[in-house]
Amino acid sequence: MSKPNKPNKPNKPKNAPRRPAAAVTPDSPCPCGRADAYRDCCAAFHQGRATAPTAERLMRSRYSAFAVGDTAYLMRTWHPTTRPGGLDLEPAQRWTGLEILGTTGGSAFHTEGTVEFRAHFTLHGRPDSQYENSRFVREDGQWVYLDALPSV
Ligand SMILES: [Zn+2]
Protein backbone atom coordinates (compact mmCIF):
# COMPACT_ATOMS: atom_id res chain seq x y z
CA MET A 1 0.00 0.00 0.00
CA SER A 2 2.21 2.79 -1.20
CA LYS A 3 1.21 5.90 -3.06
CA PRO A 4 3.53 7.85 -5.29
CA ASN A 5 5.13 10.72 -3.51
CA LYS A 6 4.07 14.22 -4.43
CA PRO A 7 7.04 16.16 -3.17
CA ASN A 8 5.82 19.57 -4.27
CA LYS A 9 2.52 19.44 -2.49
CA PRO A 10 2.64 21.85 0.46
CA ASN A 11 1.83 20.33 3.79
CA LYS A 12 -1.20 22.34 4.87
CA PRO A 13 -2.23 21.91 8.48
CA LYS A 14 -5.93 21.34 8.94
CA ASN A 15 -7.91 23.83 10.98
CA ALA A 16 -5.28 26.52 10.51
CA PRO A 17 -6.51 29.91 11.68
CA ARG A 18 -8.31 31.72 8.90
CA ARG A 19 -6.35 34.57 7.41
CA PRO A 20 -8.01 37.97 7.56
CA ALA A 21 -9.90 38.82 4.38
CA ALA A 22 -7.96 41.28 2.26
CA ALA A 23 -5.69 43.51 4.31
CA VAL A 24 -6.08 47.22 3.73
CA THR A 25 -3.25 48.63 1.60
CA PRO A 26 -2.65 52.27 0.64
CA ASP A 27 -4.29 51.57 -2.73
CA SER A 28 -7.34 49.82 -1.28
CA PRO A 29 -10.66 51.60 -1.30
CA CYS A 30 -10.82 53.36 2.04
CA PRO A 31 -12.62 51.21 4.66
CA CYS A 32 -14.73 54.26 5.59
CA GLY A 33 -16.72 53.92 2.37
CA ARG A 34 -15.69 57.11 0.60
CA ALA A 35 -14.60 56.79 -3.02
CA ASP A 36 -10.94 57.62 -2.38
CA ALA A 37 -8.13 55.17 -1.85
CA TYR A 38 -7.13 54.63 1.77
CA ARG A 39 -3.88 56.56 1.14
CA ASP A 40 -5.79 59.67 0.05
CA CYS A 41 -8.54 59.36 2.63
CA CYS A 42 -8.36 58.24 6.25
CA ALA A 43 -4.65 57.30 6.09
CA ALA A 44 -3.84 61.02 5.98
CA PHE A 45 -5.53 61.40 9.38
CA HIS A 46 -4.11 58.16 10.80
CA GLN A 47 -0.58 59.23 9.83
CA GLY A 48 -1.03 62.78 11.12
CA ARG A 49 -0.65 64.36 7.65
CA ALA A 50 -4.02 66.08 8.11
CA THR A 51 -6.79 66.40 10.66
CA ALA A 52 -10.41 65.53 10.02
CA PRO A 53 -12.23 68.72 8.97
CA THR A 54 -15.66 67.59 10.16
CA ALA A 55 -17.09 65.34 12.85
CA GLU A 56 -18.30 62.97 10.12
CA ARG A 57 -14.82 62.65 8.62
CA LEU A 58 -13.44 61.99 12.10
CA MET A 59 -16.10 59.34 12.66
CA ARG A 60 -15.24 57.74 9.32
CA SER A 61 -11.52 57.83 10.11
CA ARG A 62 -12.15 56.19 13.47
CA TYR A 63 -14.11 53.43 11.76
CA SER A 64 -11.19 52.97 9.35
CA ALA A 65 -8.83 52.88 12.34
CA PHE A 66 -10.84 49.98 13.74
CA ALA A 67 -10.62 48.31 10.31
CA VAL A 68 -6.83 48.69 10.05
CA GLY A 69 -6.19 48.17 13.78
CA ASP A 70 -4.79 51.64 14.50
CA THR A 71 -5.49 51.81 18.24
CA ALA A 72 -3.12 54.76 18.72
CA TYR A 73 -5.29 56.86 16.44
CA LEU A 74 -8.45 55.76 18.26
CA MET A 75 -6.91 56.79 21.56
CA ARG A 76 -5.70 60.18 20.40
CA THR A 77 -9.05 61.05 18.82
CA TRP A 78 -10.89 60.16 22.05
CA HIS A 79 -11.73 62.97 24.46
CA PRO A 80 -9.40 62.73 27.50
CA THR A 81 -12.36 62.76 29.89
CA THR A 82 -13.96 59.66 28.34
CA ARG A 83 -10.94 57.86 26.86
CA PRO A 84 -10.39 54.36 28.23
CA GLY A 85 -7.05 53.45 29.78
CA GLY A 86 -6.33 51.06 26.95
CA LEU A 87 -7.95 49.50 23.94
CA ASP A 88 -7.80 45.90 22.77
CA LEU A 89 -9.36 45.16 19.42
CA GLU A 90 -11.17 41.87 18.94
CA PRO A 91 -8.96 39.93 16.48
CA ALA A 92 -11.90 37.85 15.21
CA GLN A 93 -13.82 40.97 14.26
CA ARG A 94 -13.64 42.18 10.62
CA TRP A 95 -15.15 45.54 9.78
CA THR A 96 -17.13 45.28 6.57
CA GLY A 97 -18.83 48.62 6.02
CA LEU A 98 -20.03 51.89 7.49
CA GLU A 99 -23.40 53.57 6.97
CA ILE A 100 -23.79 57.19 8.04
CA LEU A 101 -27.44 57.63 8.99
CA GLY A 102 -27.43 61.28 10.00
CA THR A 103 -25.36 64.16 11.34
CA THR A 104 -25.93 67.37 13.30
CA GLY A 105 -23.44 70.23 13.61
CA GLY A 106 -19.89 69.00 13.23
CA SER A 107 -18.71 71.39 10.52
CA ALA A 108 -15.80 73.83 10.60
CA PHE A 109 -18.27 76.35 12.04
CA HIS A 110 -19.27 74.16 14.97
CA THR A 111 -17.60 72.99 18.16
CA GLU A 112 -19.98 70.08 18.67
CA GLY A 113 -21.60 67.55 16.44
CA THR A 114 -23.28 64.18 16.35
CA VAL A 115 -22.92 61.36 13.85
CA GLU A 116 -25.48 58.58 13.78
CA PHE A 117 -24.16 55.44 12.11
CA ARG A 118 -24.36 51.74 11.72
CA ALA A 119 -21.03 49.90 11.52
CA HIS A 120 -21.11 46.47 9.94
CA PHE A 121 -18.72 43.69 10.86
CA THR A 122 -18.33 39.97 11.07
CA LEU A 123 -17.34 38.26 14.29
CA HIS A 124 -15.97 34.74 13.84
CA GLY A 125 -17.43 34.98 10.33
CA ARG A 126 -20.96 35.88 11.47
CA PRO A 127 -22.34 39.20 10.16
CA ASP A 128 -23.48 41.71 12.75
CA SER A 129 -23.64 45.47 13.14
CA GLN A 130 -23.35 48.15 15.76
CA TYR A 131 -25.60 51.22 15.89
CA GLU A 132 -24.52 54.39 17.65
CA ASN A 133 -25.31 58.09 17.77
CA SER A 134 -21.89 59.49 18.67
CA ARG A 135 -21.11 62.89 20.10
CA PHE A 136 -18.01 64.77 18.98
CA VAL A 137 -16.44 68.01 20.19
CA ARG A 138 -13.74 70.17 18.67
CA GLU A 139 -10.79 70.69 21.01
CA ASP A 140 -7.95 73.01 19.94
CA GLY A 141 -9.33 72.86 16.40
CA GLN A 142 -9.41 69.06 16.25
CA TRP A 143 -12.48 66.89 16.34
CA VAL A 144 -12.47 64.20 19.01
CA TYR A 145 -14.95 61.52 20.00
CA LEU A 146 -16.75 62.30 23.26
CA ASP A 147 -19.34 59.61 23.90
CA ALA A 148 -22.45 57.86 22.64
CA LEU A 149 -25.87 59.41 23.10
CA PRO A 150 -28.39 57.11 24.74
CA SER A 151 -30.63 55.35 22.25
CA VAL A 152 -34.15 56.69 22.06
ZN1 LIG B 1 -11.64 57.09 4.59
User: What are 57-68's pLDDT values in tens digits?
Assistant: 999 999 999 999
Structural contact between residues 59 and 51, judged by C-beta atoms closer than 8 angstroms: no
- Ligand 1 mean position, distance from CA 73 (Å): 13
pLDDT of residue 47: 98
Residues 61-94 have pLDDT tens digits of 999 999 999 999 999 999 999 999 999 999 999 9
Which pTM does this prediction carry?
0.84
pLDDT at residue 151 in the model: 79
Average pLDDT on 50-60 reads: 98
Instruction: Answer whether residue 76 is part of any domain.
Output: yes
CA–CA separation, 97 vs 14, rounded Å?
30
Is 116 exposed, middle or buried (CB count within 10 Å of its CB: 0-12, 13-18, 19+)?
Answer: middle
Give the domain range for residue 54.
38-148
91 closest CA partner among 19, 12, 22: 19
Identify the pLDDT of residue 120: 98
152 CA from centroid of ligand 1 (Å) = 28
Q: At 132, which CATH number?
A: 3.10.450.50
CA of residue 142 to ligand 1 center, whole Å: 17
